[in-house]
Amino acid sequence: MQLEAMYQEVILDHYRNPRNKGLREPYGGEAHHVNPTCGDEVTLRVRLDGEGQDARVADVSYDAMGCSISQASASVMSELIIGSSVKEAMAVGDEFLALMQSRGQSEPDEDVLEDAVAFAGVSRYPARIKCALLAWMAWKDATARALGEAS
Ligand code: ZN
């Protein structure tokens, strides 16, 4: 199977069978983000265990509507970061952001990004980059709120 087709398959799988979808309690921070250019919306909750950058991402849950890319991205992200520390999750987010800004030129690091490498092709379509980044932005916001409450 061609790489592009395989990536398509991963995105469709997460879109059809979203992981961690549905808002859960308890949570420490929540954020609602909208991508007006595409009409995507996500409400995302984060529960942290501990304080500061070393806190563990104990749970991420969300409710999302919109295009397949935005919804699949939220699902992939939740799988990637639940269980890691805030610091580690931020690093993965930075790696994903770099991939999205690469205009199809970067070789994604599959060890770091796992299923998120499937979005590599999205970086060639500027209009869709915000779709892929929406959940990550919401996560950063919700995490900042959760950390604020914890301190
Ligand atoms: Zn979209």
Q: Are 142 and 31 in contact (CB under 8 A)?
A: yes
Cα(85) to centroid(ligand 1), Å:
28
Residues with Cβ within 8 Å of residue 26, at least 6 apart in sequence? 47
Mean pLDDT of the region 38-64:
97
Cα(113) to centroid(ligand 1), Å:
20
Select from 47, 48, 44 the least CA-distant residue to 23.
44
Would you state the pLDDT for residue 39?
97
The tokens for 129 are 């980059």
Residue 107's pLDDT band (boundaries 50, 70, 90)?
A: confident
pTM above 0.85, yes or no: yes
Distance from C-alpha of 97 to C-alpha of 85, rounded to nearest angstrom: 18
**DSSP 8-state class, residue 36:** T
Would you state the pLDDT for residue 151?
43
Cα(50) to centroid(ligand 1), Å:
33
Cα(102) to centroid(ligand 1), Å:
19
Select from 15, 2, 27 the least CA-distant residue to 146.
27
Q: Are 62 and 6 in contact (CB under 8 A)?
A: no
Q: Convert the pLDDT of each residue in 55-99 to its tens digit.
A: 999 999 999 999 999 999 999 999 999 999 999 999 999 999 999
Cα(118) to centroid(ligand 1), Å:
16
Q: Which domains are seen in the chain, by residue range?
A: 2-150 (3.90.1010.10)
Cα(9) to centroid(ligand 1), Å:
17
